[in-house]
Structure 1
Amino acid sequence: MGSIIEMVIVLVAAAALTVQGIREDIAHKRAQLLQIEGQNEEVINSALSQWVTDNFAALLDQFTQSGSPDLTPPTVDQLFTSGNLKQPHRNGPFWGGQYIITMSMVPAGCTQEAGDCHVSYVMYPSLPVTKSGVPDVAGAGEIARAGGISFGFSKTQNSSQIDGINGAWHATNPLGNQPAVILATNGPGSDGDSVWIARDGHLTWTGSQNVNGVDLHNVGNIDAQGTIAAPTVAASNVAVSNAVRSPATLFIQNAAGTAPAPADMGQATLHGALQLANIGVPRAACTPPMVVGNSDGSGQVLTCQGGQLIPVGGPWTLMQQFVVANGSVVPAPVCSAGGAAKVTVAAQNFTVDPTAVVNFGASAGSGPWVISITDGSGTPIGALGTASTFCEY
């Protein structure tokens, strides 16, 4: 008897586990089905958005000629035949009904001349999501999350409103006061397709954009009314009609990025430091106009004068002056690359027999120099002079 009872218990437990397994398997398969439905509707919604962009001019003409904001939307089949859908799609979800698409021109009072018109559309199944004949709000949420930010669904509370994912947007429930209704839109209400960047350029941005550090390639002209801030600005051909103000460094390369390229700025005001390229050698051949820095990085500025690079101060650059007497030592100046140290001595005051000879001079070489102030017999005299040191280029 005990064995029979135990066998019955085992069979009942096995049946219960089987039923539970079947239920879990069904729930798992339904979750997969909801996920696939959301992805399917997202594909249709993306195709619809592309269709609006491709056909905006025709939609605007329809609105202008009819005067009615109501526009003629495409069907799911038309989205496929126009190439916006890559493969045919069933016109309706797995629980029944059809996909309904409505489209209108917003905002009210917009005109083609003003260029302020946008297309707003919504797409939704004609029946709410159900499970065993009961609205399935949780299932609707799974579909909306699989669809993405353009999707929303109605909840049990306040079911007359569609809430976008994470409350990103809100719209009126097109099926009335019913929960578990799915809806996709490119921008509810007066937003229209202004939530997208239109490919044909008929829309303007209404807020600051963050491109997340990615590059922009093949750009034509850039017109800026404010400030352009960048650690490095590289340009192959720069024309400035007003002023270039730089608190840091303005470095312009040629197209190959290997050497400086010409910058035609007209009259430019520079606030801050101007760093020249250190590529010049004194007395090197050049073609005016040209302003460069000495190749040794000393900061000496060279300009093209008479076909040669000459320091801005001239071929003889005064470095320092000293008051000297006989036997004074004058140090040599530190010259930039290409310069030779020189010294000159001039009389400042002296007293000597009028029949004698006065000699002012410095020792030979590139310094330091010993100053000599003597009479005709080579005897030092009490006199002062001025020694000036130069760099000759």
Structure 2
Amino acid sequence: MGSIIEMAVFLAASAILTVYSIREDIQKHLASLLATEGQNEAVITDALGRWANENFSTLLTQYTQSGNSTLTAPTIADLQTAGNLKQAYRAGPFWGGTYTIQMSMLPAGCTETAGNCHVSWIFYPSLPYARNGKPDVSGAAQIAVAANSQDVQFGYSSTRNAATISGLNGAWTANNPLTGTPAAAILATNGQNSDGNSLYIRRDGSLTWTGDQNVNGVSLHNVNSIDATGTIAVPAVSASNVAVSNAVRTPSTLYVQNSAGTAPAPIDTGTAAVHGNATVYGALEVANTATPRASCASTSGTTRVAANADGSGQLLSCLYNQWVPVSGPAPRYQYYTVGYGSYVPAPQCSAGGSPQILLVPQSFNINTTAQFNAYSTGTGPWTVYLTDGSNSNIGAQGVVETYCAY
């Protein structure tokens, strides 16, 4: 009899343990299922956030043209087609219903010009999480906890206040969007008054900065144009082309150096005005653009200097509105001591100049009643003649200066 009772107790205990074990397995399976659902919803909302970033310009245009702050939101299929979701997902949670996405442009009255528009969106299953036909707040909380992330905020409605969705740890609240405002409704949002990505620079340029930026000493590469209304202060500027519309300001001497900063570098400019002395430590080269006696005009308070257009190297200045050699209108070319029959070469004049000769007798004897002749003929080279009235050589000497007349 005792053995039968012991056997009955053993069988009863075994049955209880089996039932308990089954219930434990069910709870573990359910917890895993809820966590998986939360992770799936987190992936979907992350893809939704990236889709909103990438399509912000289009959404802003839609809002600007329609004036309606309610935007056309993507579907799960749209997220998959756009590549934001890398694999196929069901259109709704495992307990039924569909995933719903709503988008709006905030704040009310924002404008593209002001750059203060943000996309706010909410994501939620169209049915509350339920077990055995009743809302299960505990299960909804497990899903929200598994789905919650830094960029996307999940919450759920409780039995005590089913009309309100509360974020985890009471971080935020929102109205329950489900019909009848049931408990165990799950909702995710990127923010109630601004999109969660408004903290970041949009890569399409559709949001403007609202404050000073600190890039923490890192480099900016592949920049196209930089337009500044204030001061650009840098210890060194390295650029292939620099366009300055106003002024380059320096507290002292402005140096143009090679890329290593070890020596001066060439500079090539258009018209340049120097309001002070210019010191040239190398050769000064000027353009071959002037023609002697051609008209010219100097700016008031200045004098123009240019080189002869023939490339000879002769410098001319603008004198009384005409180009004249810097050395004067008849610069001397060479000096010779001559006698009767001396050969005098003609000077090599730059363009616009004509060879000239000046003969000055200096030592001669002649009868005071006789005639003295000192002459040369032609435009050079010349032969010098110092004769008496009968054109006879009298052994006189003199000097000759050759010059070019302009």
* One of 203, 207, 211 as aligned partner of 2:207: 203
Query: Is the CA contact (8 Å cut-off) linking 1:102 and 1:122 kept in structure 2?
Result: yes
- 1:29 and 2:29 correspond: yes
When residues 8 and 183 of structure 1 are mapped into structure 2, their CA distance, relative to the original with a 3 A threshold, is same
Structure-to-structure mapping, 1:93-242, within 5 angstroms: 93-147=93-147, 148-149=149-150, 150=152, 151-175=154-178, 177-191=181-195, 193-194=197-198, 197-204=201-208, 218=221, 220=223
Superposed displacement of residue 53, structure 1: 1.6
Aligned partner of 1:267: which letter? T
When residues 287 and 67 of structure 1 are mapped into structure 2, their CA distance, relative to the original with a 3 A threshold, is closer
When residues 216 and 154 of structure 1 are mapped into structure 2, their CA distance, relative to the original with a 3 A threshold, is farther
Alpha-carbon deviations, 1:323-358, whole Å to 9, x = none?
A: xxxxxxxxxxxxxxxxxxxxxxxxxxxxxxxxxxxx
Indicate the RMSD between aligned Cα atoms, in angstroms: 4.1
Distance 2:44 2:67 in 1: 28
Partner of 1:31, secondary structure, is helix
Aligned partner of 1:141: which letter? A
Superposed displacement of residue 197, structure 1: 4.8
Structure-to-structure mapping, 1:1-393, within 5 angstroms: 1-147=1-147, 148-149=149-150, 150=152, 151-175=154-178, 177-191=181-195, 193-194=197-198, 197-204=201-208, 218=221, 220=223, 266-268=249-251
Distance 1:164 1:214 in 2: 37
Superposed displacement of residue 288, structure 1: 6.9
When residues 266 and 45 of structure 1 are mapped into structure 2, their CA distance, relative to the original with a 3 A threshold, is same
Size of the alignment, in residue pairs?
254
Superposed displacement of residue 50, structure 1: 1.4
Superposed displacement of residue 52, structure 1: 1.3
Distance 1:132 1:144 in 2: 20
Partner of 1:120, secondary structure, is strand
Report which stretch shifted further, 35-44 or 215-224.
215-224
Aligned partner of 2:205: which letter? G
Superposed displacement of residue 143, structure 1: 1.2
Distance 1:193 1:114 in 2: 17
Superposed displacement of residue 70, structure 1: 1.2
Alpha-carbon deviations, 1:166-185, whole Å to 9, x = none?
A: 33332221125322111111
Specify the alignment match of 2:327 in structure 1: none
Aligned partner of 1:99: which letter? Y
Superposed displacement of residue 215, structure 1: 6.4
The answer for unaligned runs of 5 or more in structure 2 is 253-261, 266-280, 282-406
Larger Rg: 2
Superposed displacement of residue 132, structure 1: 2.2
Distance 1:223 1:167 in 2: 45
Distance 2:116 2:24 in 1: 53
Specify the alignment match of 1:329 in structure 2: none
When residues 287 and 214 of structure 1 are mapped into structure 2, their CA distance, relative to the original with a 3 A threshold, is closer
Superposed displacement of residue 73, structure 1: 0.9
Distance 2:227 2:157 in 1: 44
When residues 143 and 196 of structure 1 are mapped into structure 2, their CA distance, relative to the original with a 3 A threshold, is farther
Distance 1:60 1:49 in 2: 15
Partner of 2:142, secondary structure, is helix
Partner of 1:158, secondary structure, is coil
Query: Is the CA contact (8 Å cut-off) linking 2:53 and 2:197 kept in structure 1?
Result: no
When residues 88 and 170 of structure 1 are mapped into structure 2, their CA distance, relative to the original with a 3 A threshold, is same
Aligned partner of 1:70: which letter? T
Superposed displacement of residue 130, structure 1: 1.4
Superposed displacement of residue 27, structure 1: 0.6
When residues 60 and 90 of structure 1 are mapped into structure 2, their CA distance, relative to the original with a 3 A threshold, is same
When residues 87 and 224 of structure 1 are mapped into structure 2, their CA distance, relative to the original with a 3 A threshold, is same
Query: Is the CA contact (8 Å cut-off) linking 1:105 and 1:119 kept in structure 2?
Result: yes
The answer for unaligned runs of 5 or more in structure 1 is 227-232, 242-264, 270-285, 290-305, 307-393
Partner of 1:198, secondary structure, is coil
When residues 216 and 184 of structure 1 are mapped into structure 2, their CA distance, relative to the original with a 3 A threshold, is farther
Query: Is the CA contact (8 Å cut-off) linking 1:47 and 1:79 kept in structure 2?
Result: yes
Specify the alignment match of 1:349 in structure 2: none
Aligned partner of 2:177: which letter? P
- Report % sequence identity: 55
